[in-house]
Chain A
Amino acid sequence: MANIGQLQAPTIAGEALARGRGHAALVPDLLVEARRIVNTVITGWHGRKKRGIGENFWQFRPYVEGEAVNRIDWRRSARDDHTYVRDREWEAAHTVWLWADPSPSMLYKSAAAAASKQERALVLVLAVAELLSRGGERIAWPDLTDPFTARNGAERIAARLVHAPESQAKPDLSAIRRFADLVLVSDFLDPVEETFAWLDALARRGARAHLIEIADPAEETFPYAGRTEFTDPETGEKLTAGRAERLADDYRRLYIARREELAAWCRRRGWSFITNHTDRPASEALVRLHMALSADGFLTKGSAA
């Protein structure tokens, strides 16, 4: 009887080199896939659609008394009797912090899923990085890079990830300033209190976070039956269930309750919460994230996409 779920790329503690190779093999493919996914949402990403400080022309508008005279566009004003001011499009760069959960539980992939959670998370993060880089935003990875602007932001992030030290700890978020956006991709399987404690400081600092929960279908539907011994990939703790199918309903209730609690907590802070299942396309989550990032203050609700 085949197992329902397994760890996709089993990690042996201390084997940083093997882990790095795994990353190296993974990242180019992810980049390609991330670009492919980005192409579906690239339209409409450029520009802020409002006047501000920037380099590109936005509009001519009639000169109003009291404005700085040096802003008058004389070349346009010379054509007729009116005086015009040349507005430029606002193109202020924005800092977006990206983070994908590297914990072993993310390596899980069930038979029904298309990819492991970690793979999906990396794909999503790199896709966002690609998107933001093209849009000229500053991207950063906590504990890994400071914010930078580059056309090849996704490649640089990937290269950094390959050489990143093995770390399962939660990153230090103290560098994140006000008005920055933070994209957190994880399975959020830790007790919600811990997650809340971790993110609360962020909320108080005025940053905005976008939580993407990567869920494996087996974790949500609990298709196990019979006498089953469950192992936690992080702690190695074991639990044996005599008739696993009897637990399914209770477990599902708790699992969904955790998600609802997270989503409600995010909603209260004006953050977005997005769920992506590994048996669904990654682009679904990317589109939602795109909307959440581009919507000014309006937040999409977390949904069980």
Chain B
Amino acid sequence: MTLAARLDRTAPTVSGRGQRWAEARAGSLLALPAAVYFLVFWVVPFAGAVYLSFTSYELAGVPEWTGLDNYRRMLDDPGFWNSAEVTAVFTVASVVPSIVLGLAIAVPLSKPGRLNGVLRALVLIPAAMPLVATSTVWSAIFADHGLANTLIGLVGIEPKPWLTDEGLALWALVVMTTWKHLGLFVIILTAGLQGLPSEVFEAAALDGAGPLRAFARITLPLLRRTLLFVLVIAVIGAMQSFVPAFLLTKGGPAGATEVLPLYLWATGFGFERMGYASAIAMVLLVAMLALSLLQFGVLKGGDDG
């Protein structure tokens, strides 16, 4: 019998109406600032953006109701489709290595040991580097005579035009983004791994399960909740990624890194078509929500809240 069940039997007072009332009161109190904050700073602006997405609003005068025009316009706007594609590729290309590498590093790193302790501290350093301040450093790293080419030159690879090759530029951004976020993912995954009950692994070892099998059968399922969090954050972060492209490539070469948020920025603040930009944001929002729901669904049980 679990502790909870026993408590339930011996102490009926912790459930029941009194408890529900106490929880409701405390919960409301703790969540009230959040409710007010999100209402004022996100829900209201969001409602404004929804409204604007049905209007023609060029950052001046009164928004003019145009119904579904903005959404229709998206259908035959090659700029939008190019950006949607770039964002999709970028998301897959940056999430998969982040998670795989993150796990590959986190699993050995979660084991005790002094070296691991030091490495755990070091691995987070890139995450502490301000992106805006270091973007210049990255553009130098990816320049013709920059560090990236020096490094691949060491193993005999010809220098590559990282930021000016349509095929490579997006990958240069992936490298920069992964570099920035990997440490954080590693630390969160490490924490999750360290929290797993060790008895399970001992039992698995007794059953003669190999390390890979044990990882797939036991570790991954148990790590669902942490994985879900990292995955949701990684996907959303990738789909909203704006700063690397904005600072490093400005969407070039020839639109190859024009991620959707960048296109949104250009539409809203470059072309001043805020109505259309809002419509694009709504589509992006729906896509992200759908993906989030999917992840919650696939990793069901990772979220037993």
B and A form one assembly: no
B residues in contact (CB < 8 Å) with A? none
